[in-house]
Amino acid sequence: MKDSVFPKDFFWGAGSSAFQVEGDTPPTDWTQAAEEGRVPNIGKACEHYTRFREDFDLAKSLGHNAHRFSIEWARIEPEEGVFDEKEIEHYREVLRALRERGMEPFVTLYHFTLPLWFSESGGWKRKDAPEIFARYCAYVVKHLSGLSRYFYTINEPNNLYNSGYLRGKWPPHKKYNFFGYLSVFLQLTRAHNAAYQKIKQEKNDCYVGIVFYVQVFKAISLFWKVVACILNYVCTYSFMNRVHRYTDMIGVNYYRTTTLGKHKAYIKTDIGWDMQPEELYEALRIMQVYHKPLFVSEAGIADAKDHYRADYIKKSIHAIAYARTNGMDVRGFFYWALLDNYELADGYAMRFGLIAMDYNTQTRTIRPSAYVYKEIIEKNGAMIGV
Ligand code: BGC
């Protein structure tokens, strides 16, 4: 068999986030927005909170050796400063279930949803928000670290201030609120840095990182290349430059690339995004300037008919293989998502999963593309030529 550019300990898996799959989400800014009709209702989602073992059995049967999921902050800290030991025990069970199946857990501490008490008392605009967040993160890591080595503090800080304060699509639904944008941008850098330091005081033997949504800008002509550099600075480096000293690893979420000054027609995914998995290489190239281990923490497509997913996965893995041959330290690939789930402002209409959900019966059906991914994993990516 051809040699693989992937090391034996490369992580292959998929991802999820608490409120997108667990169901019965406790009071958060998103559940409140749903009650007000600003985002679709979350409801029971995939009932993953109770069915996680069944879901991990499926992931294992698909060859995964790692899994990324998130902790619901509102469950752990239902009131300010009050921590729920029962919920910690629940997530310990989740971690044990992964370990028993030989899957390495990657835990995200905050994936978009804020406890209602936090958002109602000012959210990220609270002066003491970074300290409050750091206290929650350190508490969780302290109680879970025996079972997990990899923790991400925040998922996609940039989507929080872009979608929450510019586009007005996510809580707190502010539009073109540049003051809010800037203050939340700065607070999230402080929150990550404070959380990193507090976690490390408690536990020094785990990896702590951040997950960033890398929107790639590229161009062919000189003029547009300059513009692309500026946009990459504004969208990615301006934030990452403030936090990279406090990260042991970086999670790269990749979905889209804009090629400036040139129009090329791409296949559109169900959500209307261009399908450009090969550009994942560019996203990794943007992030490798920090010389930290990189993980593709998300890349995936909405494709209900499963027409393009297998090709998308192959091309994404090819992009990683190419990045590795060019010296980039990429250590894992987490397809988004394991299951169809609550796709934020689009509700349940979009189907990103390796596993299809029938939400009425809670039936899970493995999509054909998941087996293509499985075959790649079984050969540790050896058939992906570069
Ligand atoms: C988010 C996920 C989301 C996915 C697809 C990412 O930006 O982290 O929560 O479901 O994109 O939109």
CA 170 – ligand 1 centroid, Å: 12
For 30, counting Cβ atoms within 10 Å of its Cβ (0-12 exposed, 13-18 middle, 19+ buried), the class is buried
368-378 helix and 309-325 helix, angle to the nearest 10 degrees: 30
CA 319 – ligand 1 centroid, Å: 20
End-to-end CA distance of the chain: 15
Q: Is the CB of 282 under 6 A from ligand 1?
A: no
| pLDDT of amino acid 262 | 84
Rounded CA-CA distance 102/137 in Å is: 25
| pLDDT of amino acid 2 | 62
Atom of ligand 1 at shortest distance to CA of 112? 9
Rounded CA-CA distance 348/37 in Å is: 15
CA 201 – ligand 1 centroid, Å: 31
CA 162 – ligand 1 centroid, Å: 13
Local confidence band at 145 (pLDDT 50, 70, 90 cut-offs): confident
Token pair in block for residue 178: 């540049």
Best of 336, 339, 348 for a ligand 1 pocket test (most atoms within 8 Å of beta carbon): 336
Local confidence band at 135 (pLDDT 50, 70, 90 cut-offs): very high
- Return the H-helix or E-strand segment holding 257: strand 257-260
SS3 108: strand
Lowest mean pLDDT among 208-217, 255-264, 322-331: 255-264
| pLDDT of amino acid 327 | 97
Opening angle at CA 239, ends 194 and 343, nearest 5: 90
Rounded CA-CA distance 181/124 in Å is: 10
* Pairing relationship of beta strands 66-70 and 11-15 according to DSSP bridges: parallel
CA 333 – ligand 1 centroid, Å: 15
| pLDDT of amino acid 4 | 85
| DSSP for 263-298, written as a single string | ----PBPTTS-B--GGGHHHHHHHHGGG---EEEEE
Over 60: is that where the pLDDT of 1 sits? Answer: no
Q: What is the mean pLDDT of the chain?
A: 97
Of all protein residues, the one whose alpha carbon is nearest to atom 12 of ligand 1 is 343
Cβ atoms of 273 and 255 closer than 8 Å:
yes
Kindly report whether the peptide bond that precedes residue 337 is cis, defined as omega within 30 degrees of 0: yes
* Pairing relationship of beta strands 363-366 and 355-358 according to DSSP bridges: antiparallel
Token pair in block for residue 108: 């995200």
CA 111 – ligand 1 centroid, Å: 9
Average pLDDT over residues 316-325: 97
In tens, the pLDDT along 86-98 reads 999 999 999 999 9
Average pLDDT over residues 336-356: 98
Atom of ligand 1 at shortest distance to CA of 156? 8
